[in-house]
Amino acid sequence: MSTTTWSGRGVPAQHPRGLPRLDRTLVMGVVNVTPDSFSDGGRWYDPRRAVAHGLALVDEGADILDVGGESTRPGAVRPPVDEELRRVLPVVRELAATGVAVSVDTMRAEVAARAIEAGAALVNDVSGGLADPAMLPLVAQAGTPYVVMHWRGHSDGMQTRAVYGDVVTEVADALRLRVDAALHAGIPPDRLILDPGLGFAKDADHNWQLLARLREIVALGRPVLVGAARKSFLGRLLADPVTGRPRPAGLRDAATSAVSVLAAAQGAWCVRVHDVASTSDAVRVTACWGRYAATEPAWALTP
C-alpha cells in the first residue's frame, strides 16, 4: 500500500512511491506540446520553448511537470504515434536531465515506454489503460508510478457519454475496476494514483458533484490527482453577465486556484495546473490551515 502519513485537513494521506513526498498537496505543472490545446493555443509547441516553459514552472514551484503531445479537449483528433513521439521525447529528455520529476501524459504504451527511457518518472494515462491494452503490462514491467483516470472514450465522442445516475458512485466504482485491472497486470499498489477525470465525459454539474464529494474518491485508498485547470465548467460559471459568453481559458486561473484549495482540503495528493505560482501558494496556505484546524475541537470548526 502507499505510505500513510498525517491525514489532517489539507495534507494528503497517500504518497505514491518513487515521486516527491511532501506534507502538502503537490503541484503538477502542465507542459502541452500540442498545436491545438484549448488552454494555451500551442504556445509551447516548439520543443525549446516547451523546455524553457517547464523550467520556468519549476522556478514557480512545480513539483512535477506533465508533458503531453496529444490534446484531449472535447472533439480533438488524435495525432499519429510518430508525431506524438516527435513532440514529447525531446522535451521529456531535456527536462528529466535537470532532475525534475517528469510525467508523460499519454494513452499509448509505445509513447510511455519511450518516454520512460528518456527519463519520465510517471505515466499519466487519461484512459486508465483502456485505450491501449499494452499499457498496463508496460507500466508493470517498468515499475513506474501510474495515473488511472476515469474515462469513457476518446475526445471526439466522450461528451455523448456524460450520462450518470450518481456520478460520484459510478466514477468510484469504475476506478475500482481499473485498479483491479492494474493490480492484476502486476502494477505495484503503491505506484497507483487515481484521477476522477473532471471534464472527461462529464458536464459541469458532474464536475461540481465530484469536487463536492472528492473525499469519497480519496477514501478509495490511493493518492488522488485532480485536474481542473482552466476547464470549461469554470468558464461557464464565470460567464459574462451581459453576453453570457464563457470566461476565456486564460482568465480562469484564479478559479482554478480556488478549486485546488477545495481539492487539497479534501486530501488530494496533487493538482494539475497551468498557473503554478498561484496554486503553489494556495496549497501551502491550505496545508498550514489544515495543521491548525486539526488541533481545534470539532465544535470550533462548525459555522
N-term to C-term CA, the chain? 36
Q: Who's near 219: CB < 8 A, 6+ residues apart?
A: none
Count of C-beta atoms within a 10 Å radius of residue 239: 12
Q: Which amino acid is at 45?
A: Y
- Rounded Cα–Cα distance for residues 216 and 214 (Å): 5
| Residue whose grid cell is 509547441 | 45
The answer to whether residue 231 is catalytic is yes
CA nearest neighbour of 10 among 258, 206, 204, 293 = 293
Supply the DSSP symbol for 190.
G
Is residue 225 within 8 Å of 271, Cβ to Cβ? yes
Which one from 93, 191, 231, 247 is the annotated catalytic residue? 231
Residue with cell 466514477: 171
CB 8 within 8 A of CB 294: yes
Under 8 Å between Cβ of 224 and 267 = yes
Indicate if 202 belongs to the active site: no
Active site amino acids: 231, 272
